[in-house]
Structure 1
Amino acid sequence: MFRGLLSRKPVTKLALTPPDPQPGRAGIALVLIVRNEARHIGEWAAFHLQAGVAHVVVYDNGCTDGTIGVLRDVLGDRLTVMPWNQKLRDAVTGRELHNQVLAYAHAIRNFGGRFRWMACIDADEFLVPKQAADLPAALVPLEGCASISLPWHNFGRNGHVAPPDGGVLRNYTRRAADPMSGARGVTNFKVIVDPAHVTAVKVHSYEVDGRAVTWNDRGARFALKDRAGRAFYSADHIQLNHYYTRSEQELAAKIARGSNQSVEAARHAARVRRNVANIEAEEVEDRCALDFLARAGAETGGHR
């Protein structure tokens, strides 16, 4: 009975031995798992190049729409592509091994030694420098932090039924008013880490040096279990923008694709629609991504 229950729970946490830091390691690398993101991936890649990202490691989860070609066009030799189209299970228990967690652990272990910082994010997430000229400069005050947890700032449909011309950043400027409001804000995090200290990986959290601790972007240390509290919140140096839905048509397509785990379709659809309603219940304007591009003298339209 116990074993049967256990077999239905995916493996979502992996332990690893940290990579050895290479001499002269520097910069920030992004890790991304993608499946058919061609419409917006060029804008995502161009933004993060402008923000000072040194390299992007992409895990190709069966793209068929030209996503990888767009990334090659934008990123050139700053791109590494790994084939990653799989669903794996433990042979004894039948537990699914979370494909995203597998990719993150592989990237940290195999590429992390080259870089001072690494962040595993999604194609609908943008790391926005709030004051500094780029991400490396924004991270200078946080040199002593092995793991920096950035709360989602969730953007909804912004009234768009169909995908608008001009890209994501220009057309989606309203987000959930309170990023730390629990269910209403759909609170979660992505993490910028020093890969040489990572000892365990989940999608939204890491252990460093065997400890379940993290820092906010003001450099204050917290236990991982305490970061959902209001005292943890900060977005002084870097803000994580999460474009959860984009247009209604894209939201419907997101629901139709299903979860990245083996989740029953109706339950997945209900959860996503509930999250959208919570995000859009109370919104504020947020133009920090456009403000960064204006400071950098970059264009604000989408890459086509």
Structure 2
Amino acid sequence: MLSFLRRTRSISRIALDPPRPFVGREGLALVVILRNEERHIGEWARFHLAAGVRHFHVYDNGSTDGTLVQLVAAVGVQNVTVMPWDQKLRDGITGAEIHNQVLAYAHAVRNFGSGFRWMSFIDVDEFLVPKSHDDLISCLAHLEGEANVSLPWHMFGRNGFETPPEGGVVPNYTRRHPDPMSPLKGMCNFKMIVDPSRVTALRVHSIETEGSTDSVNDRGERASASGRKAPGFYSADHIQLNHYYTRSNAELQEKIARGSNMTQNEADHMRRVMRKVDQIEAESIEDLAAKRWFAAR
């Protein structure tokens, strides 16, 4: 019971007054919270810069390696804003932990959102893959009037690698679970691309715009936050969200050892991670969308 309380007694939804959009705002900004991602941050940043991302807002949760050096080397200092974000904050009355990731997202929207048409909030193990055009902005052009686009996870596992392979993530990890809308617990989830000037509340996997949880898929079809999980909502016609959940087995063990980004029982965290890994790897299909796109750049 105690571990259950530690896991769930938290503030994971943060409401805000949206920022006023600047005249002439444009482009897509990525927001990421990270710690010690030196091995992969360069590839992740180069991929998204090539995909047309205009700026990277990086919330550094106490990195002690060369993550930030590699990031700036990959995309240039002019394209990166770094915010120190090494903290665990709690409500002063209830003691409820404030979700540090959601807090970073809310800070980014309110303080940097005015200058961008689109903003997305992903992790270093997640890649936004252009499908219908060469860049993400062109892939979003038909959704110009929309405020909130939901993209389902495409879940990739270890692909048989015991240690990190040479050449990076995208060229090597090409097998994923076949069903992004799987009903199995923890398998079907979303990240969003939103108009920051219309954001009124955030969670990690659900963003409210103008007071509503409604969003559209990348074809422009609308659903509520819970309705997104219906199989008919699935689409990756224009943008595919690849989630390289484990990478190699050695990195999976590192992921487990790091623990959750919220205070949580270690054994409970390990069981949750390994259940998801087993589900991802129970069956798989080949998916070369990201590899082919990146190789052509």
Q: TM-score, normalised by structure 2?
A: 0.96
Whole-angstrom CA distance in 1 between matches of 2:152 and 2:218: 10
Map residues 83-98 of structure 1 onto 2, 5 A cutoff: 83-98=84-99
1:10: which partner in 2? 10
8 Å Cα contact 1:184-1:279 kept in structure 2: no
2:126: which partner in 1? 125
Q: Does 1:46 align with 2:39?
A: no
C-alpha offsets along residues 80-127 of structure 1, whole Å, 9 cap, x if unaligned?
000000000001000000000000000001000000000000000000
The 3 A distance-change label for structure 1 pair 198 and 166 is same
Q: Does 1:165 align with 2:193?
A: no
1:134: which partner in 2? 135
2:70: which partner in 1? 70
Instruction: Name the aligned partner's letter for residue 270 of structure 1.
Output: R
1:302: which partner in 2? none
1:267: which partner in 2? 268
1:205: which partner in 2? 206
Q: Offset at 1:182?
A: 2.0
Q: Does 1:182 align with 2:183?
A: yes
8 Å Cα contact 2:6-2:264 kept in structure 1: no
Whole-angstrom CA distance in 2 between matches of 1:163 and 1:97: 33
Whole-angstrom CA distance in 1 between matches of 2:12 and 2:229: 19
8 Å Cα contact 1:152-1:179 kept in structure 2: yes
Whole-angstrom CA distance in 2 between matches of 1:99 and 1:26: 27
| CA RMSD, 1 decimal | 1.3
8 Å Cα contact 1:7-1:95 kept in structure 2: no
* SS state at 1:128 partner: strand
8 Å Cα contact 1:175-1:285 kept in structure 2: yes
Instruction: Name the aligned partner's letter for residue 268 of structure 1.
Output: H
1:116: which partner in 2? 117
Instruction: Name the aligned partner's letter for residue 116 of structure 1.
Output: R
Instruction: Name the aligned partner's letter for residue 199 of structure 2.
Output: V
2:81: which partner in 1? 80
Whole-angstrom CA distance in 2 between matches of 1:202 and 1:189: 11
Structure 1: 5+ residue runs without aligned partners? Answer: 299-304
Instruction: Name the aligned partner's letter for residue 130 of structure 1.
Output: K
C-alpha offsets along residues 168-194 of structure 1, whole Å, 9 cap, x if unaligned?
011100000111012177111100000
What percent of counterpart residues are identical?
A: 59
* SS state at 1:224 partner: coil
1:21: which partner in 2? 21
8 Å Cα contact 2:7-2:263 kept in structure 1: no
Deviates more, 1:55-64 or 1:179-188: 179-188
Whole-angstrom CA distance in 2 between matches of 1:51 and 1:260: 28
1:233: which partner in 2? 234
Q: TM-score, normalised by structure 1?
A: 0.94
Whole-angstrom CA distance in 2 between matches of 1:291 and 1:192: 23
Q: Offset at 1:144?
A: 1.7
Q: Offset at 1:290?
A: 1.5
2:55: which partner in 1? 55
* SS state at 1:38 partner: coil
Whole-angstrom CA distance in 2 between matches of 1:224 and 1:68: 34
* SS state at 2:26 partner: coil
Instruction: Name the aligned partner's letter for residue 155 of structure 1.
Output: F
* SS state at 2:155 partner: strand
C-alpha offsets along residues 121-147 of structure 1, whole Å, 9 cap, x if unaligned?
000000000120100100001112210
| Structure 1 consecutive aligned stretches of length 4 or more whose deviation exceeds 6 Å | none
1:301: which partner in 2? none
Instruction: Name the aligned partner's letter for residue 44 of structure 1.
Output: W
C-alpha offsets along residues 215-264 of structure 1, whole Å, 9 cap, x if unaligned?
10100111111001101110000000000000000000000000000010
8 Å Cα contact 2:131-2:238 kept in structure 1: yes
Q: Does 1:33 align with 2:52?
A: no
Q: Offset at 1:7?
A: 10
Instruction: Name the aligned partner's letter for residue 145 of structure 1.
Output: E
* SS state at 2:191 partner: strand
Instruction: Name the aligned partner's letter for residue 14 of structure 1.
Output: I
Q: Offset at 1:6?
A: 9.9
1:100: which partner in 2? 101
Instruction: Name the aligned partner's letter for residue 222 of structure 2.
Output: R
8 Å Cα contact 1:36-1:66 kept in structure 2: yes
Whole-angstrom CA distance in 2 between matches of 1:233 and 1:136: 20
